Amino acid sequence: MTIIFSPIPPSKKNSKQIICTQDRPRLISSKAYRAWHDGEMWILKKYKPKKPIEKCEISCEFWFADNRRRDLSNAFESIADILVDAEILKDDDWKTVESILLYAMGIDKKHPRVEVRIEEL
């Protein structure tokens, strides 16, 4: 299965916000991440299998809009989390995702994206 995320997802763990609920502070993801997540969930509905994938290998090819420095592992965490939220993967732990390959492919100013390939085992 190949899923293309465009644009590249914002990091889930960077730029967290503190909110107070029931008199106690709580950390939530940034507005940019939440907006990306909500938009992509609609697209991912067409990829949802009958039951979540229980064992797989994942490779991600990143095509960036510019030369800015980025952390591929942070971007992958966002991708893995949304795949679990969309019930495509059972979990993003090591028992479900046996191997992860992350490739920085280069720059594509017109169409920055991540091409995610999931191979069920």
pLDDT confidence of residue 24: 80
Domain of residue 26: give its range: 2-120
Residue 96: its pLDDT value, please?
A: 97
Residue in 11, 121, 13, 1 with CA at minimum distance from that of residue 60 = 1
Q: Does residue 38 contact residue 31 with C-beta atoms inside 8 Å? A: no
- Judge if pTM exceeds 0.95: no
- The CATH number of residue 92's host domain is 3.30.1330.70
Burial level of 24, CB count in 10 A (0-12/13-18/19+)? Answer: exposed
Of residues 85 and 32, more confidently modeled = 85
Domain total in the chain: 1
Q: Is residue 28's pLDDT more than 80?
A: no
Q: What is the pLDDT of residues 76-108, one digit of tens each?
A: 999 999 999 999 999 999 999 999 999 999 999
- Of residues 1, 11, 19, 7, the one with CA closest to residue 81: 11
Task: Give the integer Cα–Cα distance in Å for 81 and 107.
Answer: 25
Residue 15 pLDDT exceeds 70: no
